[in-house]
Amino acid sequence: MSVNPLAVDLAWSEGQVRRWGLVPPEEAVRVEGYLGLTYYRKEEPVAFWAHPSVARYPLTALRHLAGLAEMRLLLEAPPDPRVWRVSPKPRHPVEEPDGVWLTSEGPVALEYDAGAYARARVKAKGEAFARRFVGQVWGAPVPERVAYLRRFLPEGTRVLLAPWA
């Protein structure tokens, strides 16, 4: 099954394209604007390559999708929708992760936090995922946020430094 990785990831930042040697497909849409590395950081010029299905999404949603793409690349998961599935929805209920990684041990919840989640939401999501999945992997764009997440997530949760920019 040959699928372009962007059809699985849905969005890549210009930085990811350079860093990982990704090749945007012909149908990819370049989206530019101003956005902070995290929810609270100063806005700077950014560019994304987006799948046409999400090209009109807010930049914050593209940041989230690019963060999940960075997690896939770091985990060396194949760009295969039978293995790696992300939800393009900008917001999810507490018990629903941003995506699911279908591993040989079972489904693993995927969550990316660019700094907007309050402590209570992090705890609630971590607890909900622990009940429904064999594991969970979280990603964040900066070391400070990785440390924050580790304080409030269940023991054994994997938290990756996954800068999307």
Work out the percent of the chain whose per-residue pLDDT is above 90.
Answer: 84
* 88 C-beta neighbours (distance < 10 Å), count: 15
Taking the C-alpha atoms of residue 116 and residue 127, their distance in angstroms, rounded to an integer, is: 18
Residue 61: give the domain boundaries. 5-161
Confidence of residue 2 (pLDDT cuts 50, 70, 90): low
- Per the structure, the count of domains in the chain is 1
Tokens representing 49 are: 């390559």
Where residue 118 falls (left for φ over 0; alpha for ψ -120 to 50; beta otherwise) is beta
Question: What is the rounded radius of gyration, in angstroms, for the C-alpha atoms of the chain?
Answer: 15
- Which pTM does this prediction carry? 0.94
Mean pLDDT of 131-151: 96
Q: In this predicted structure, what is the pLDDT of residue 94?
A: 86
